[in-house]
Structure 1
Amino acid sequence: MSNLSSKAPLTISVVIPVYNGGDAFRRCLRSLHTGLIPDEVIVVSDGDTDGSWRVAEQFGAKVIRCPVSRGPATARNVGAKAAQGDIIFFVDADVTLHPETIHRVAEVFTASPEVAALIGSYDDAPGAANFLSQYRNLFHHYTHQVSSEEASTFWGACGAVRREVFLQVGGFDQSYRAACVEDIELGYRLKRYGYTIRLCKHIQVKHLKRWEPLSMLRADIFYRALPWTALILRHQQLNNDLNLDTSSRLSVVLSFALLLTLAATGLWPSALGLSLAIAVGLLLLNAPVYRFFRQKRGWRFTARVIPWHWLYFLYSGFAFAIGLGRHHLSQMKLASRHLVRTSAN
């Protein structure tokens, strides 16, 4: 009986949190019917007001409605607890799956019993046509495609995990109320428990989200950089992977050096030469990234990418500095309270 059970095909439950998903959500659900159909699709309506839950029911999904929005971390946990599959495949409501995506997820877990979780990648054909959406999503695709397959974090937009493992580690941290770094935090916890997370570059989804300057900056700074810095400092874990690789860290330093030397040219014109040298260094350091953009979208697109890419290094570094300051301030307050309690005793 045990041999037969071990050879039984793994079952997959797709869990999708949604809050006012709109047309992108409809496209997401439609894509689930283009290839291997998962054993169940669970949609957690996170207090939506646009009738997304009705759309999910029309597509045959199991719908769980939450009366108020508590964020994707809580919604995913609700869906995971209701899931019956061996594998829980978390998908965001603004992505579409390729016909082979579900099959490839099942294939990895079947062939590699040591893998507890996997993450995929955005594809190289983002759904929104405007420049920032193309740049942002292509950069995300590139980052995943060149990173180590031995992943150190999880990813909620396209991430799968064995159900018993997910429940054992306690699921997502529900203190994160916005779409934030709850998936990265889960990945840190999975690694701390000794589980293997694999980055499977051939498992891809298409991101449909349209990015505009303000929405991108707000997300990168307040929902990514600042909370991720706090997470890094809390866990004392700065991995040389994904957006935290050595090249990115050095690029942050060079970007600030470029900004300072440019500012200094008003007083010391000779600083312009140093600025040019630093700019050349930044170009050379990130040549593989710009080569990728040139191959995908041409020289003109790549020329538009470079200032946005350097701005990304600047605001990421600035946010890290703020996060570091906050961390040290909180540590000083804790030490002060401890000193007061000790003195009182």
Structure 2
Amino acid sequence: MLNLSSPNLPISIIIPVYKGGQAFYDCLASLKNSRLSPAQVIVVVDGDDPHSYQIAEAFGAKVLQLKTNQGPAVARNRGAEIATGDILFFTDADVTIHEDTLEKIAQVFESNPRVAALIGSYDDQPGASNFLSQYKNLFHHYNHQIGSEEASTFWGACGAIRRDIFSKMGGFDESYRRPCIEDIELGYRLKAAGYQIRLCKDIYVKHLKRWTPYSLLRADFFYRALPWTELIHRDRNFVNDLNLQWSSRLSVIFIYLLLIVLPASVWIPPLLFLVGLLIIGLIVLNWPVYQFFLKKRGFIFTLAILPWHWFYYFYSGLAFVIGTVKHKLKRNRSILPTKA
């Protein structure tokens, strides 16, 4: 059973889950080790998932059951509707918290009345041991550790917000029916309304997800990059933060130049010199990233991530082009004159 008590600013934890399995059990178990107990733990079972329901009940959480799978935006909003804490802390069912996560969240809000919301970071010890999971989750950790503390987005895996402000903003956009960018979209609306979001680099959670090539590409390309591009155009928000640094944008250009020049060098050998320059340029532009991986996992691991990291720039660039075209087509259709 979870030991529930209220800090000065009571925290309600909201966890959407659908077929959570062992990771979900570990998620709830980690709450028992928290130095600061939450006022509530609300689990929203997003569809027909009796096993997750039983796990949540066994841990003493307040459980909501949705009849059909509607996505985390809906699930989080339904959880927020019954929350009583002054602070809403959103996390995922495949995430565990550190013993000081809630304590540090409470300290930030208590000492900074102007902070409307905050986000934390994955730690540098991902739960899944396979190569792709280590790469993906460490890369996420790195991006948050170098990001601006004056954040421009929200994050549903480790994000806290004052309940009154969340309600005033209307919660997450429920038009996002899959695990998508509903958290980023909320962050953009918060910033547009003049609210402060803090990136707290010392507030950690551990990601347990085991990434495969299929799940990584599906999440990165279809659920994040494509809708995020359309959101960027909608709000005209090209903020140089997290995944939108200038080095990343230049790297995308270098990757596409490399894809053009490398095949051409078979017929025009002098182009091999340009190929070399582009490869050196990519390494120089991303040297801080590679230094990070060298320090954390060594030379062989760092060498192995290069193809995946450069592939990431390829599909990110492709998603931006496709998303931009989709946005322009939608905008053009919306301004076409209607027939009398």
Shorter-chain TM-score: what band? over 0.9
- Displacement of 1:150: 0.1
- Aligned: 1:196 with 2:196: yes
- Aligned: 1:142 with 2:139: no
- Aligned: 1:14 with 2:23: no
Q: How does 1:22-101 map to 2 (within 5 A)?
A: 22-35=21-34, 36-101=36-101
- Displacement of 1:331: 2.3
Give 1:227's aligned residue: 227
Report the Cα distance in structure 1 between the residues aligned to 2:78 and 2:114, rounded to whole angstroms: 26
Report the Cα distance in structure 2 between the residues aligned to 1:13 and 1:331, rounded to whole angstroms: 40
Q: State percent identity of aligned pairs.
A: 59
- Displacement of 1:333: 2.2
- Displacement of 1:49: 2.3
Cα displacement string for residues 97-148 of structure 1 (whole angstroms, at most 9, x for unaligned residues): 0000010000100010100000000000000000000000000000000010
Q: Which amino acid counterpart does residue 22 of structure 1 have in structure 2? A: G
Report the Cα distance in structure 2 between the residues aligned to 1:296 and 1:318, rounded to whole angstroms: 30
Report the Cα distance in structure 2 between the residues aligned to 1:225 and 1:91, rounded to whole angstroms: 21
1:17 match: secondary structure: strand
- Displacement of 1:266: 2.4
- Aligned: 1:160 with 2:187: no
- Displacement of 1:267: 2.5
1:121 match: secondary structure: strand
Report the Cα distance in structure 2 between the residues aligned to 1:329 and 1:98, rounded to whole angstroms: 45
- Aligned: 1:311 with 2:301: no
Give 1:267's aligned residue: 267
Give 1:248's aligned residue: 248
**Contact 1:22–1:50, Cα closer than 8 Å, also in 2:** no
Report the Cα distance in structure 2 between the residues aligned to 1:30 and 1:334, rounded to whole angstroms: 50
1:16 match: secondary structure: strand
Report the Cα distance in structure 2 between the residues aligned to 1:163 and 1:49, rounded to whole angstroms: 28
Q: Which amino acid counterpart does residue 24 of structure 1 have in structure 2? A: A
1:151 match: secondary structure: coil
Structure 2 segments unaligned to the other structure (5+ residues)? 1-6
Cα displacement string for residues 150-174 of structure 1 (whole angstroms, at most 9, x for unaligned residues): 0000000000000000000000000
Report the Cα distance in structure 2 between the residues aligned to 1:41 and 1:21, rounded to whole angstroms: 16
Give 1:237's aligned residue: 237
Report the Cα distance in structure 2 between the residues aligned to 1:217 and 1:268, rounded to whole angstroms: 34
Give 1:3's aligned residue: none
After superposing the two structures, state which structure 1 stretch, 146-155 or 324-333, moved more: 324-333
Give 2:217's aligned residue: 217
- Displacement of 1:307: 1.1
1:210 match: secondary structure: coil
- Aligned: 1:333 with 2:333: yes
2:42 match: secondary structure: strand
1:150 match: secondary structure: coil
Number of residue pairs the alignment of both structures matches: 333
- Displacement of 1:258: 1.1
1:68 match: secondary structure: coil
Report the Cα distance in structure 2 between the residues aligned to 1:227 and 1:327, rounded to whole angstroms: 10
Q: Which amino acid counterpart does residue 27 of structure 2 have in structure 1? A: C
2:118 match: secondary structure: strand
Report the Cα distance in structure 1 between the residues aligned to 2:59 and 2:264, rounded to whole angstroms: 60
Report the Cα distance in structure 1 between the residues aligned to 2:318 and 2:28, rounded to whole angstroms: 39
Cα displacement string for residues 304-341 of structure 1 (whole angstroms, at most 9, x for unaligned residues): 01111000000000111011111122222223x32x44
Cα displacement string for residues 279-300 of structure 1 (whole angstroms, at most 9, x for unaligned residues): 0000011000000000000000
Cα displacement string for residues 72-92 of structure 1 (whole angstroms, at most 9, x for unaligned residues): 000000000100000000010
Report the Cα distance in structure 2 between the residues aligned to 1:48 and 1:107, rounded to whole angstroms: 37
After superposing the two structures, state which structure 1 stretch, 45-54 or 155-164, moved more: 45-54
Q: Which amino acid counterpart does residue 159 of structure 1 have in structure 2? A: G
CA 1:294–1:50 in 2, change beyond 3 Å: closer, same or farther?
A: farther
Give 2:288's aligned residue: 288
Structure 1 segments unaligned to the other structure (5+ residues)? 1-7
**Contact 1:18–1:48, Cα closer than 8 Å, also in 2:** no
Q: Which amino acid counterpart does residue 15 of structure 2 have in structure 1? A: I
TM-score, normalization by structure 2: 0.96
Report the Cα distance in structure 1 between the residues aligned to 2:163 and 2:327, rounded to whole angstroms: 34
- Displacement of 1:50: 4.8
Give 2:3's aligned residue: none
Report the Cα distance in structure 2 between the residues aligned to 1:274 and 1:44, rounded to whole angstroms: 54
Runs of 4+ in 1 over 6 A off after TM superposition: none
Cα displacement string for residues 40-97 of structure 1 (whole angstroms, at most 9, x for unaligned residues): 1000010142510110010010001111110000000000010000000001000000
